[in-house]
């Protein structure tokens, strides 16, 4: 069992939705189990409850990766940090690393200017990693490599690729418009988790549609594609059919608490 874990990434969708309240789709968040590490990508409202529903909790999360700072991707950070200050026995036992694009430290400082010590963990329990260079970032001894590239949404927006030493790989797009950088990052990935916020006929700047996400997946020759970040109009649309205009490979439409193994 242990060796299986070391050669796979288990992806759990915590939130496949958006800023729009939904009982079915919590705001944006993805959980990855990589070896014995737990990585969370974005933490929109509802993420802490979804972690419990997924069989884990905030204290076992080792890494928070932020694609950008929009509230539907970050809003649960404040209650997440505050809850980590709750006393024993639930208390966090190991440090939390928070990773994000340019401006991450200023973003956190802004939150601290509002909430002060309520969200400040004790010394040594939080490490902030602000990406100012987009290069592979080997997190030594952690059993994976994280690589980030800028994508087309906000100035700080990044997509992440997580890869194990055995070559198992998952890419998380965050929010983006069509992006050659995302194509490059996703090259032959085991799974591309790609935003597809609106149907093809409702395209807006800074977001993808099913056909555009399919174009990225096809160009990158990914092994599997998962579409996520669905605004309500997506649930009245045949998103798979629109994606099939550009991509013929294995396709998953994200649902909250869905789990996918990437070998
Ligand atoms: Zn956004
Ligand atoms: Zn978003």
176 C-alpha to ligand 1 centroid (Å): 8
- Report the range of poorest mean pLDDT among 55-64, 120-129, 134-143: 134-143
Tell me what the mean pLDDT of segment 88-113 comes to: 90
Contact 11, 170 (CB under 8 A): yes
Per-residue pLDDT, 143: 86
Tell me what the mean pLDDT of segment 217-231 comes to: 98
pLDDT band of 86, cuts 50, 70, 90:
confident
Q: Which residues surround ligand 1, an ion (CB under 5 A)?
A: 70, 175
Q: Which residues surround ligand 2, an ion (CB under 5 A)?
A: 72, 175
pTM of the predicted model as reported, rounded to 2 decimal places: 0.95
Per-residue pLDDT, 157: 96
207 C-alpha to ligand 2 centroid (Å): 8
pLDDT higher than threshold 50 for residue 56? yes
Contact 222, 10 (CB under 8 A): no
User: What is the number of the ligand closest to the CA of 42?
Assistant: 2
pLDDT band of 91, cuts 50, 70, 90:
confident
Per-residue pLDDT, 87: 73
Per-residue pLDDT, 4: 46
Tell me what the mean pLDDT of segment 75-92 comes to: 87
124 C-alpha to ligand 2 centroid (Å): 31
Per-residue pLDDT, 140: 62
Q: Is 89 exposed, middle or buried (0-12, 13-18, 19+ CB in 10 A)?
A: exposed
Tell me what the mean pLDDT of segment 243-254 comes to: 98
166 C-alpha to ligand 2 centroid (Å): 31
19 C-alpha to ligand 2 centroid (Å): 7
51 C-alpha to ligand 2 centroid (Å): 19
Distance (Å, rounded) from C-alpha 16 to C-alpha 229? 5
41 C-alpha to ligand 2 centroid (Å): 12
Does residue 69 or residue 123 have the better pLDDT? Answer: 69
């Amino acid at each position: 069992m242990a060796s299986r874990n070391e050669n796979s990434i288990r992806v759990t969708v915590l939130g496949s939705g958006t800023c729009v309240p939904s009982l079915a789709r919590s705001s944006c968040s993805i959980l990855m189990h990589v070896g014995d590490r737990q990585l969370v990508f974005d933490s929109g409202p509802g993420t802490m409850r979804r972690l419990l529903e997924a069989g884990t909790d905030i204290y076992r999360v080792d890494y928070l990766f932020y694609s950008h700072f929009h509230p539907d991707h970050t809003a649960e950070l404040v209650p997440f940090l505050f809850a980590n200050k709750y006393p024993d026995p639930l208390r966090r036992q190991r440090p939390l690393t928070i990773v994000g694009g340019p401006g991450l430290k200023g973003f956190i400082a802004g939150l601290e200017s509002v909430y002060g010590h309520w969200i400040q963990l004790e010394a040594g329990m939080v490490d902030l990693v602000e990406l100012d260079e987009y290069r592979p970032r080997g997190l030594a001894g952690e059993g994976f490599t994280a690589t980030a590239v800028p994508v087309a949404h906000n100035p700080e927006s990044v997509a992440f690729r997580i890869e194990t030493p055995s070559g198992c790989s998952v890419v998380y797009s965050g929010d983006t418009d069509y992006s050659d950088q995302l194509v490059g990052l996703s090259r032959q990935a085991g799974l591309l988790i790609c935003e597809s916020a609106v149907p093809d006929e409702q395209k807006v700047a800074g977001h993808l549609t099913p056909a555009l996400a399919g174009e990225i997946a096809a160009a990158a020759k990914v092994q599997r594609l998962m579409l996520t970040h669905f605004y309500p109009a997506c649930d009245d649309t045949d998103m798979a059919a629109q994606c099939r205009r550009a991509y013929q490979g294995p396709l998953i439409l994200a649902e909250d608490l869905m789990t996918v193994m990437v070998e």
